[in-house]
Structure 1
Amino acid sequence: MRIGLVRHFEVIHSSQKVVTSGEFKEWVRQYDIADVRQIPVDLCYNNWDLCFSSDLQRALQTAQNISKCKIVTTDLLREVPISPILDTNLRLPVPLWLSLGRMAWLFSHHSQPEKRIQTGKRINDFLTQIMSLRESNILLVTHGFLMFIITGFFSIILAEVFRQAVIVKEENDLTI
């Protein structure tokens, strides 16, 4: 099985320098509905049997641009939602709000709409689903932070496959 993992194209979205928590919520809302800057892409491999895309517009636009196969949209590949960690009129840089939100997610802070265990279950459910498919070449179009999480799950799966292969070898090894 070959699995390709692609992040959506660059989002066309005005970036404010410093914002309050309320303005950050609006910034995130606008980012989620923004278009992408489409560019020609050479994936070096384009014989995909099936493409799964996040149902957010930026990922779907990217999938439609780079994939020639059937595209299936799913909310399981959506970016991990992010919210400000507190309501305040204090103005902070957008990258700081983003970093604080991701750290809060890491610790399953109540400010985040999706907890880490929920994200893990969502990704596990999706990967279990695609591993059972007959298609052998699957392209995934998703989002940056979610890609980080998915690659972590892949490394766990690969480690388990390797561990099982070693166990089988040890059981079949008749060397005394």
Structure 2
Amino acid sequence: MTSAEFREWIDLYNNSSIDCTTPTNTDVSWDACYSSNMTRAIHTAGTIHQGDIIITEELREIDIRPFFNRNLKLHLNMWLILGRVGWILRHRSQEDKILTMDRAKKIITMIEDRHEKNEKVLIVTHGAFMTVLRRELINRGYKGGSFTKPVNGKIYKFSKRRNSVTKS
């Protein structure tokens, strides 16, 4: 696929629905739920949480774009790899990595400010952004699930460590 076809694929993927034939099971009664404003995240949140859902663009997936704009045809996986490597290396074609990390800090601060430490808050976001969010949670003294590539629909639980020191 060309860079133009890759952009088209990204648009279709970002606006696609999810497969709910195997619902996510949770034994947790959530006090609050935050979701990305992307359709598939909102749908997922609604299948897990029965109450109000706070929808925010701060939880959106890290934007991925073609690493270069040429008529060169590459496999979809190559475009995805180039996009993520471009993000890691802070290539100008991708979402700014610092802004992504700032989004993670902002949403966690907002949740911590709005909710008591013993409240159970569900956050529904996307794979690549989850890795950034997890890193920020760990930096703030939370402990929880480890992953390299998060599994779709899996709930990763994090809790604040007692007597922890916040890293900066």
TM-score by length of 1: 0.77
CA distance in 2, matches of 1:25, 1:65: 29
Of structures 1 and 2, the one with the larger relative CO (CA 8 A, separation 6+) is 1
Letter of the aligned partner of 1:108 in structure 2? R
Alignment partners' CA distance in 1, 2:43 and 2:69: 33
From 113, 119, 123, give the equivalent of 1:140: 123
Residue 150 of structure 1 corresponds to 133
1:21 maps onto 2:22 in alignment: no
SS at match of 1:132: helix
2:158 equivalent in structure 1:
none
More strand by share: 1
2:52 equivalent among 70, 81, 91: 70
Q: Distance in 1 between matches of 2:31 and 2:132?
A: 24
Unaligned runs of 5+ in 2: 143-160
Q: Does 1:122 align with 2:103?
A: yes
Contact 2:140 2:165 in 1 (8 A): no
Question: What fraction of aligned residue pairs are identical, expressed as a percent?
Answer: 35
CA–CA separation in structure 1 for the residues paired with 2:19 and 2:164: 42
Q: Deviation at 1:137?
A: 0.9
**Pair 1:102-2:84 in alignment:** yes
Output the aligned Cα RMSD. 1.8
Q: Which runs of 5+ in 1 are unaligned?
A: 1-18, 166-176
Distance 1:163 1:67, change over 3 A: closer
State the SS of the aligned residue for 1:60.
helix
Please report the TM-score for the alignment, with normalisation by the length of structure 2: 0.81
Whichever of the two has the greater Rg, that structure is: 1
SS in 1 for 2:42: helix
More helix by percentage: 1
Query: Is the contact made by 2:141 and 2:165 (CA closer than 8 Å) also made in structure 1?
Result: no
